[in-house]
Structure 1
Amino acid sequence: QYNFWGEGGIIQINTFIYMSAFQRARMKEEKQQKLQERRERLRIMLQEERDQLEAELRNVCPDRATLTRQLVEKTDALWSAREERRNNCLKCLCVQVETELCKDHVVSQWQVQQQERKQADERTREEKQRFENEYERTRREEKKRAEDLRKQMEELQLREQEAEHLKQEQEALMSQCWELEKLEDERKRMEESRRKTEFGHFLTRQYCAQLKRRAQQVQEDWWILAALLEGEVEEQRLEKARRERAVTDAAWMKRVIEEQLQLEREREAEFDVLYREEAQRVWEKERRARERLMREVLTGRQQQLEERMKENRLARDESLQRREELIQQLEQERLTRRQEREQQEGARTTRMQEISAQVEQRRREQWEEQRRQEQEELQERKELRQQEEELHLHMLMIYIMALINDCIGKFSILNFHCTSAEVCM
């Protein structure tokens, strides 16, 4: 808000000027030119008033008091009229200047705003393009990292599934080993039971056959003896001596048969022992062959299980190591992403602070520029007003001195004429 003071009133001109250095210089030159024009018009007006006043003074020649009073009244009237014309002229000039300034300000401000808007749009477009490029690059990196992370997670799941499968296979192998041991124990137990059963069956069959054979032999002998005894009983009636001899012979034969039976039993026992020893050797040979075959089969199976368990253990160790590596990679990736996010947040915060500082600096510079322009404008108006007042006083003093000189000259002439007339009278 600028105040323009004149002796006839106060004219307030409200403007807000934002222009470049070139435009300010141009407006300053225009102001100086308009000031010179206004000074020239004021000088012409004062000269016209002075000429008019001198002409009026030449037409009338009143006395000193009347002339003085008329001069004062005329001076006041002229001063009032001049001030009124001056104020009207100043009003017109101020309105014109205000209109031109507003027009120039609007045009220049519109141009400046257009230029600033273009620059701001260009900066915004460049910043947006940079942000889009940065966002696209970040998006591609995030997509690649997400793909790598997905692959690592899939590999980790596969490793876990493989570890679970290896664990189940290990448990199955251990179960097979236990089953194999149980089968071996069961085989040994069954072999021992079978051996005992076969041996018992063999002994039972052998003794049963021997008993049947011996019983049959004894029964046959007893049948023979019974037949002899019956014949002897029948012949007892025939011959007692022959009977006694027969009885004696029968008893002797009985003893001989019993001895023969005992001898046969001993011989059968010897044969049985020999047969059992031979069978035992054959059975032992077969048992050893079976045991050797079973040992080979079980040993081969045990070796296969041990090899599979070893491979399973190595695979589990490798899977566990790979799983640990994947977990470490995932942890490192998580730490890296967190650090990158923190860096991005720090860079974004720093960028926002820089932008805020730049905006604040630009706002401060604009405010300082506006303040400087206001001070320059105020100083120019003060100087202009002071120059106008000095010019006005100077012209007024010149005008008054001229009037006084004219009046003195006219009064001197009038006194001279009056004196001459008195002398003549």
Structure 2
Amino acid sequence: MALPTLTTRAPSQFQNPGAYMDWQRERRAEKQHVLETHARYLERQSFCNERHDVWTSRFYFYRSISEYHKQRLKEERKSTLECRRNQIQTLLKEEMNQLEAELRELDHDRKTQRGQHRQKKGEHSTERQESREKVETELHKDHVVGQWLKQLSEKKKQEERRFENDYERTRNLVLERMKQAGQQNRPDEKKRMEDLCKHMEELKLKEVGDVYLEGTFSTIPGAPLSHSDDSAEFLNLYRGPLTFTNIKLFCAEQEAERKILAALMEGEEEEMMKRSHGERAVADVAWMECAIEEQLQMEREREAKIEDLNRQEAQRLWEQEPQREKERKARELLMQKVLSDKQQKLMMKIQENRKLNPQVGSSCKVLCTILLEPIKIQFLFIVSIIIVGAAEAPGAMEEQCSTEQEEEEKEEEEFQFKYD
């Protein structure tokens, strides 16, 4: 193919050389543009022919067929993997449901056991409290009755001693006063005794005179018996002045002595009453002090007995602490065994499924690890809650239970917030 050549002759319409050069430049540019477009077209056509040859070749055909088969196998694997994943998820859900059911049963059993322990504890505590109160009341009653009997016997003895002392004191005072009165009235008594002796002698003389007069009257001859009244009148006239005077004096003296003794006895009785009232008040105050001291001593003894009982209860709980620790460790081992058994069963099922479909082994393993991680964490968390709840001491208080429940709820909320 010959290349186009440019003529050096200028056309006739371009008389100006500058215009001709411009025209020539434009023609050259147009030809260059046409050549470039043709070259691009030829290049595109050659590329298209090459691609067409490659695409229509047998190698590319087999290659596309193999890629199609690979894509198809990939999609089949993906579908089978999805199916296996769904099956594993269903199995894991079933296992999880079974595990949750078992954990609920364990939790229910734990709650029932805790309720039974609390009920037994309450019953034992009420029985112990009742027996303790009964023993305390009996001891208090025996102590009070014994003290009151002792106090009554002592009070009775004190009253008897005080009565004897008062009696002896009054007797001695009366004897002393009588002695003093006798010493003061001894001259009067001597005079009175002399008067009484004289009066007795006069009475004897009167009796002798009466006998003598009667004898004389009886010896007079012809004396009438009717003169007995005259003789009596004579005798009365004879002894009347002496007897009446002596009797009046004696009665007056006896009355005066009686009045003196009555006044003395009244004064003594008043003094004795005052003294007895004062002594009785002092004795009552002393008795009240003794009773208060005995009551305080009894309260101290009761407090000491209660402290001993509390100390014995604390010692009993402390002795039971190793047994509770052993039970807690046994529960932990049991939970670990249950977890290991569940893991072994799950791994056995996974291995069986892997043997059936060895192609999905790696993906199933990854999926199992991904799915087992939160389940394991949740299971360990629940087991830890159960162990902590079962390892609680039966003598724990209600406040500790409430605080532990609040802490468990907070931990569950944090756990859910973390893994949700």
The two structures have a TM-score, normalised by structure 1, of 0.38
Bigger radius of gyration, 1 or 2?
1
The two structures have a TM-score, normalised by structure 2, of 0.38
